[in-house]
Amino acid sequence: MQFTLRSTHGLVRCFVLARAATLTLGLVLAAGSLPAPAVAQEPSTTFPKAPPLPDLTGKVALVTGSTDGLGRDVARRLAAAGAQVLVTGRSVERGDSLVDEITRSGKGSARFYRADLASLDQVRRLADAVIRDNKHLDILINNAGVGFVFDTTRKFSAEGYEMHFAVNYLAHYLLTKRLLPLIVASAPSRIINVSSGSQEPIDFDDVMMTKGFNGERGYAQSKLAQVMMTIDMAPELQKRGVLTYSLHPASTMATTMARALNVKPRSTIAEGVESVVNAITTTEPSGTFFNELKPWKAQAQAYDAEARAKLRVLSERLVGEK
């Protein structure tokens, strides 16, 4: 699969995000061929640098999926800037280890919340715990994700929803909604959705992909849903002092997700971190989708207001709340 993204400056570029030897996500490396780096490698000299983070002392940032990969290094960067980081994921061992590391560093602070985003009950409990423990939430980074494997077997969340859609999109939709009062009360604040360049239109007649399932499409549909949510929420959030962005962090970062596929890594995790930091500091209009650090045109369905409204109504129904 290959698709074209058009930059907001009119420049047409192609992501080769696609299959088999090529490969979506822009991820991958042979399973087990590279260990996960404990510390991010340096970005390449050609990868642009984001503006430095401001001093985040006194700010609170929640990073979903910060027990591993990109999220873990984003959490490290935020803590290094002085933030209190709320670390989330399923692995207690990796969560506790990151909290220890940040505590020992003497910069910022951290606290771990275990939650499996494949359960909407656990998403609600996570939101409740965050609201209970924190007086504000300045930055929410919806980063956790399940990648795809080349498989035609559907997997399901606790509620019976297709797994990519449930974890990558729906859990973050619900978490964002539930945390919104705290985020609004902390304005100016930001919500960053870590999506991907891998995007395919949502088939509203078969969102759970009962027919002709394949993992790549499930992943790509969930990633477009994140972009659509960002664009959909932006105007209302802006009125309340909250900016929101979505982004493709970097292609083929050497992460656990990537290791499930079979392609050579093309980017370091540190490069992906630059993209997230850029979204935290950017002055581009709220709702912008970034390809790494550049404002970019997402898949066309993202700009279809009717499709976004359909996704909103569907999401409200699936989570059982407005």
Single out the residue of 23, 27, 139, 224 in contact with ligand NAP (rule: CB under 6 A): 27
Q: What b-and-e string marks burial along 186-223, b requiring 16 or more CB atoms within 10 Å of the CB?
A: beebbbbbbbbbbbbbbeeeebbbeeebbbbbbbbbbb
Contact 72, 270 (CB under 8 A): no
Return the number of the residue (68 or 200) whose C-beta is nearest ligand NAP.
Answer: 68
Return the number of the residue (62 or 118) whose C-beta is nearest ligand NAP.
Answer: 118
Considering only residues 47 through 66, tell me which ones interact with ligand NAP, judged by CB under 6 A: 65-66
Considering only residues 292 through 311, tell me which ones interact with ligand NAP, judged by CB under 6 A: none
Using the Cα atoms of residue 235, residue 287, residue 188 and residue 223 in order, give the sign of their dihedral.
positive
The H-or-E segment that residue 164 falls in is helix 163-164
Single out the residue of 59, 61, 62, 67 in contact with ligand NAP (rule: CB under 6 A): 67
Return the number of the residue (186 or 226) whose C-beta is nearest ligand NAP.
Answer: 226
Contact 273, 74 (CB under 8 A): yes
Least separation in angstroms between residue 119's CB and ligand NAP is 8
Least separation in angstroms between residue 94's CB and ligand NAP is 6
Binding mask 100-139 for ligand NAP (x = CB under 6 A): ---------------xxxx---------------------
| Closest to 221 (Cα-Cα) out of 161, 159, 178 | 161
| Closest to 89 (Cα-Cα) out of 107, 103, 74 | 74
Least separation in angstroms between residue 201's CB and ligand NAP is 18
| Closest to 100 (Cα-Cα) out of 92, 110, 108, 90 | 110
Q: According to the binding rule CB under 6 A, does residue 84 interact with ligand NAP?
A: no
Q: Count residues binding ligand NAP (CB under 6 A).
A: 34
Return the number of the residue (63 or 83) whose C-beta is nearest ligand NAP.
Answer: 63
Q: According to the binding rule CB under 6 A, does residue 155 interact with ligand NAP?
A: no
> Where in the sequence numbering do the catalytic residues fall?
219
Q: According to the binding rule CB under 6 A, does residue 91 interact with ligand NAP?
A: yes
Q: What is the CA radius of gyration of the chain?
A: 18
Considering only residues 158 through 217, tell me which ones interact with ligand NAP, judged by CB under 6 A: 167, 194, 196
| Closest to 29 (Cα-Cα) out of 214, 257, 197, 272 | 257
Return the number of the residue (122 or 238) whose C-beta is nearest ligand NAP.
Answer: 122
Single out the residue of 256, 281, 309, 313 in contact with ligand NAP (rule: CB under 6 A): 256
Q: What is the DSSP letter of 25?
A: G
CA distance 299 to 197: 9
Least separation in angstroms between residue 219's CB and ligand NAP is 7
Other residues' Cβ atoms within 10 Å of the Cβ of residue 278 = 22
Give the binding site for ligand NAP (CB under 6 A): 25-27, 65-71, 89-91, 94, 115-118, 143-146, 167, 194, 196, 248-249, 251-253, 255-258
